[in-house]
Structure 1
Amino acid sequence: MFPFTLDWITAPVLLRFSWWCYVHELPVTESILNIVLNHAKNHGVKKVLAIHLEIGELSDLEDEWIQRYFDYLSKDTLAEGAKLKIKRAPVVMECKSCSRRFEVNIKDLYEMKCPECGSIDCTLVSGKKYYIKSMEAI
């Protein structure tokens, strides 16, 4: 009765909904790739082999999706085939009462208190950002 099947119509919609929650990794990955390619170009690099990233534990970036997007975006560039070596950075807080800095397990974040004075009045120092630490290239 119709010249197309229902699967053909719903496939793009299903694909869109299955990927929607990972889209925020795309601009981050694109930014990483652009920085790496500019650095490689300025230093006469022929091939990027690996990129070492540090991503905070509080970041909602998923390692698998960053690598997938990187593989897709880096096609036909100096970075094609490069592996992302991701290290997670700990969450570090600073007590507003005694200025002590300390690491916090993300599972304990809501029950966190300063190990020095017991205060719960603390501020986030690190654990949410991402950095390009280094790259391996020839």
Structure 2
Amino acid sequence: MHELSIAMSIIDIAAETSRTHDDARVIAVHLKIGRMSGVVIDALLSAFTIAKEDTVLANAKLMIEDLPVKVRCPKCQCERLADSIQCLCCSVCRTVSAEITQGDELDVVAVELEPLEIRQ
């Protein structure tokens, strides 16, 4: 299950972001995951829940934007949704495309932080 190693990497990224912002509390980590990334989102959510225990992300949420697959159609000369991940064809003219423009990414796009209360 490579989702556990992905979850741990996400935690490392968010924890480092927290450290560089005066150990602010991590509220959420925002991801963009393409349908062709090879990541099983439910498995990642479960792995994240387990891996975040006893870390600065213990109460953080994982916010995932599930991205459809888009291809650049050689016939239409524009970006279109692919019919499916099994058929990388233009959804309008059905021409096969080898150029994926979206749908294979796994990106941490934001780490939402909450500053710790100032001690006096």
* TM-score, structure 1 as length reference: 0.70
Name the % identity: 24
Higher helix share goes to which structure? 1
1:52 CA displacement:
1.2
Q: Distance in 1 between matches of 2:70 and 2:5?
A: 26
1:115 corresponds to which of 86, 92, 95: 92
CA contact (8 A) 1:58 1:106 kept: no
Q: Distance in 1 between matches of 2:35 and 2:5?
A: 19
After superposition, give the CA deviation of every residue in 1:3-62 in whole Å (9 maximum; x if it has no partner). Answer: xxxxxxxxxxxxxxxxxxxx1111211111111111111112431111111100222322
1:61 corresponds to which of 36, 39, 55: 39
CA contact (8 A) 1:45 1:137 kept: no
Q: Distance in 2 between matches of 1:89 and 1:120?
A: 20
Which stretches in structure 1 are left out of the alignment for 5+ residues? Answer: 1-22
Aligned length: 114
Residue type at the aligned position of 2:29: I
Equivalent residue number for residue 67 of structure 2: 89
Q: Which runs of 4+ in 1 moved over 4 A?
A: none
1:90 CA displacement:
1.7
Larger relative contact order (C-alpha < 8 A, sep ≥ 6)? 2
* TM-score, structure 2 as length reference: 0.78
CA contact (8 A) 1:114 1:120 kept: no
Residue type at the aligned position of 2:87: Y
CA contact (8 A) 2:71 2:89 kept: no
Q: Distance in 1 between matches of 2:74 and 2:57?
A: 43
Structure index of larger Rg: 1
